[in-house]
Structure 1
Amino acid sequence: MTSPLPSALTIVPPGRPLVGRVSPPGSKSITNRALLLAALAEGTSHLSGALKSKDTTLMAAALRQMGVTVEEPDATSFVVTSTGRLLPPAAPLFLGNAGTATRFLTAAVASVDGTVVVDGDEEMHKRPIAPLVDALRAAGVDATSETGCPPVVVNGTGRFPAGRVEIDGGLSSQYVSALLMVAPLADGPVEVALTGSEIGARGYVDLTVAAMRAFGAEVEQTDEGTWQIAPTGYRAADFLVEPDASAATYLWAAEALTSGRIDLGVASDAFTQPDAKAQAVIAQFPDMPAVIDGAQMQDAVPTLAVLAAFNNTPVRFVGIANLRVKECDRVSALATELSRIAPGLAREEGDDLVVESNPDLAGRLAGRNHLTRIETYADHRIAMSFALAGLKIDGITILDPACAGKTYPGYWDMLKSLGVDMRPA
């Protein structure tokens, strides 16, 4: 939507299959990895197919604060020029509620010769980072976080320490990725090892390793929980960012809900991101499995949960405890907002989410006065996933729709391009 978004947006059910072609934006996860690696590489790197969103803008701005030249020649490209070393910034790095940028930079700035403060907004101040800070401290890095959440103060020495660094990756794979990416800047070889077998969304670590190798790093995984990294530094590279699989889940779900046909221009099996696993589940709609393990496709769970509301049978989502420490407590948010559509439609059971499912919801008028106002908690995935309910239920109203700009600035324009009408509420 070219004009500024209203504070609330009501989706008008199209009443027909959605048919068309949509190109998803570039992957946020891969874009932020590539931006950091290019900044740690000597020379000029060209990143194409990249995502321009709030999260990647914050990452780019932080890199510029540390002496890196980041140019944006067009809507999907970054040109990054660096000496291969990050300089101490004159002010704290402000990263909003961008989890990837905050965690990746917390480790990366250990290579800075000086003090760096990694900070964010009020929501980021609630998101845990203690496991990463503890791992850095144990490795010999002077890093502190008074609350176990940002802000983090890192007093770097100009090099990352060589040797073994252990990390508890159970809460977030981003901690593991953060350590892996800074490791090639060490004085000698680094061994990154998990302290347990649990790791959230392991597939994202594979994304990290692939991106590191593209920029010249030598990484070897010696067993399920250990990686050996050589002190090679990084080389500038030309890097193509693949489309965002998390964004693709909304399109796959919209297609399933409306019996439509949406061409993404890329096959589902061409994605390397973990959330692409959701496509196989969505393809089973309206007979999705009774139990869905969301551990390895966490950002797809909001999409799947809203789709489950229209399934033929109830769905229990397991392995999703990590969703409680995302941009909001997504387990609670999903249960609350689904039950706002229909009382008792979803509930929390421990860290599981149970969606009762009711295919008769389609075609209903939502809520009192035919409006159900969905609270989005400043969480882009809550906003975008609940818009899908509006494809089938009249009166679904999304509050703060602009929060989708965190990862998919063109989301509402995309729906309009498929013929979905929306009105300010």
Structure 2
Amino acid sequence: MPYRFYHPPFETAGKTMNAPYVQLIQQSLSDTVYVDLPTSKSISNRLLMLKETYHTTLKIKNLSKADDTLLLEKLLLDIQTHSTEDDPVKRIHTQNSGTCFRFLCAYLCVKKGKWLLTGDTRMKSRPIEALVTAMQACGAKITYKEKHGFPPLEITGQECLCPPQNIEINAEKSSQFVSAILLILPLLKKDIVVKISHLKASKSYIEMTIGLMQKLGIDVSMQENIITYKHTDSPAEIQSIEVEYDWSSAAYWFAWVALQYSTKVCIKKLRKSSLQSDAVIEKIMYPFGLSLRYTREGLWIEKKFDKVPPSFTYDCSNHIDLVPVLAVLCAALEVKATLKGIHHLSYKESDRLQALYQELNKITTVKYTKNTLKITPVSKSLSSAPCFASYQDHRIAMSLSLFIHKYQTIYIENPACVSKSYPDFWENLRKTGIEIRS
């Protein structure tokens, strides 16, 4: 693919959400920036499902406003209000939300009615066979409507699904297959053991699901790759729960500070003790010279030390969403890097492995295998400001914005995609003093 270094037309100022490009221009940076993070969509989505399957009166405080969560909330309402008399087969469109598709795939199997579960073109290329196979073994009626192993699906929901005591699930392609099953266990009304095979990445997200279930009083536990669920008809132990602020979004600000000395950042309301595995970014970023301090205002991050590691190696298998930001950080600092445990990247909102390969090779040298991404610093002279493709992927777009510290001007395509997880990202970026044109 040829490099696309060109200047697209733009208009000054205004909202960036519907613009085909956003132009970032390096200006005098602010001394101090207070950042308002979104709340965790991963936690929000799991709590929305548990409200449907276990605790219908649960009050969820601080629910995420990310596109994924708003979509799931809407689809659950559509499912609840669906009338088979008006529409014998209800179409449920999840767009390109893998979370919505996987969670609803399991849920619709135990929701009486006929359902056509579908998504956009990218969603139809994301594998679903392992979850379908596991649900079919539980007695679910699921048919592939196009290509075997992929969306869309026709599901005939049954309120009285009779699963075996032991459910087996292959998690090679996604840990969300496991979470999808866990989230409907209360509706199966029996003790169940879930046996996970080929769990190569993102075990931490399964642990998040279990942690939230336990907070609500559900008797579920995990030992190695075996999950044990004990059914009870007793009422939930709590009536409300508050969603944490999002550590995956915080990672961009850690990298932002690591790339410059001008700005210190205060991330408001971020919890040090968290169900989110991406809180490990605190430890990951230690070699990059950051100073961290928790106060009542929030977490203060400041570049204190002139410190850049000569090389950086990290196993990202349990922190797969951090790969784009870590890859861009190392490329921008010209640090030789090896990121391991990344094979799940190909099944995300975009093929993130291919996206990083294409975009980072515009300014450095990147190679990858199925499970490893390697960055070898090479300075490439550019004839004009680089224009980066976002692949309609929120984490790719936000990560690539970090290159504003390496170049005075950059362009990023399709900036609206950040609303999937961090709707106010560009507005927060403006606070730093970066000029944003669209």
1:337 equivalent in structure 2: 359
Residue pair 1:129, 1:150 contacting (<8 A) in 2 also? yes
The counterpart of 1:180, out of the listed 154, 172, 182, is: 182
Provide, for residues 71-128 of structure 1, a one-character-per-residue CA deviation record: whole Å limited to 9, x for no partner.
xxxxxxxxxxxxxxxxx98621111111111111111112112222221111100111
CA RMSD of aligned residues (A): 2.3
1:202 equivalent in structure 2: 203
Distance 1:68 1:189, change over 3 A: farther
Segment of structure 1 superposing worse, 165-174 or 310-319: 310-319
1:250 equivalent in structure 2: 252
Instruction: Give 3-state SS (helix, strand or coil) of 1:153's partner.
Output: strand
2:52 equivalent in structure 1: 39
Whether 1:153 aligns to 2:154 is yes
Whether 1:422 aligns to 2:436 is yes
Distance in 1, Cα, partners of 2:151 & 2:191 = 29
Whether 1:292 aligns to 2:314 is yes
The counterpart of 1:12, out of the listed 25, 41, 52, is: 25
Provide, for residues 329-355 of structure 1, a one-character-per-residue CA deviation record: whole Å limited to 9, x for no partner.
111111110112x2x432224432111
1:216 equivalent in structure 2: 217
Distance in 2, Cα, partners of 1:367 & 1:242 = 42
Instruction: Give 3-state SS (helix, strand or coil) of 1:184's partner.
Output: helix
Distance in 2, Cα, partners of 1:250 & 1:22 = 11
Distance 1:58 1:311, change over 3 A: same
Amino acid at match of 1:112: K
Q: Which runs of 5+ in 1 are unaligned?
A: 70-87
Provide, for residues 336-375 of structure 1, a one-character-per-residue CA deviation record: whole Å limited to 9, x for no partner.
10112x2x432224432111236x78xxxx833x221111
Could you state the TM-score of these two structures normalised by the residue count of structure 2? 0.84
Segment of structure 1 superposing worse, 260-269 or 171-180: 260-269
* Aligned length in residues: 396
Residue pair 1:12, 1:391 contacting (<8 A) in 2 also? no
1:192 equivalent in structure 2: 194
1:60 equivalent in structure 2: 73
Which one has more relative contact order, counting CA pairs under 8 Å at least 6 apart? 2
Distance 1:9 1:367, change over 3 A: farther
Distance 1:418 1:16, change over 3 A: closer
Distance 1:205 1:277, change over 3 A: same
Distance in 1, Cα, partners of 2:71 & 2:173 = 23
Distance in 1, Cα, partners of 2:239 & 2:248 = 25
Distance in 2, Cα, partners of 1:18 & 1:203 = 36
Amino acid at match of 1:258: Q
Distance in 1, Cα, partners of 2:210 & 2:310 = 32
Distance in 1, Cα, partners of 2:32 & 2:81 = 43
1:313 equivalent in structure 2: 335
Whether 1:226 aligns to 2:226 is yes
Provide, for residues 231-268 of structure 1, a one-character-per-residue CA deviation record: whole Å limited to 9, x for no partner.
33674831100011111111111111123321112457
What pairs up with 1:86-97 in 2 under 5 angstroms? 91-97=90-96
Provide, for residues 280-313 of structure 1, a one-character-per-residue CA deviation record: whole Å limited to 9, x for no partner.
2223222175321111110111000000113353
Q: Which runs of 5+ in 2 are unaligned?
A: 1-13, 289-307
The counterpart of 1:408, out of the listed 379, 402, 422, is: 422
How much does 1:225 deviate? 0.8
2:123 equivalent in structure 1: 124
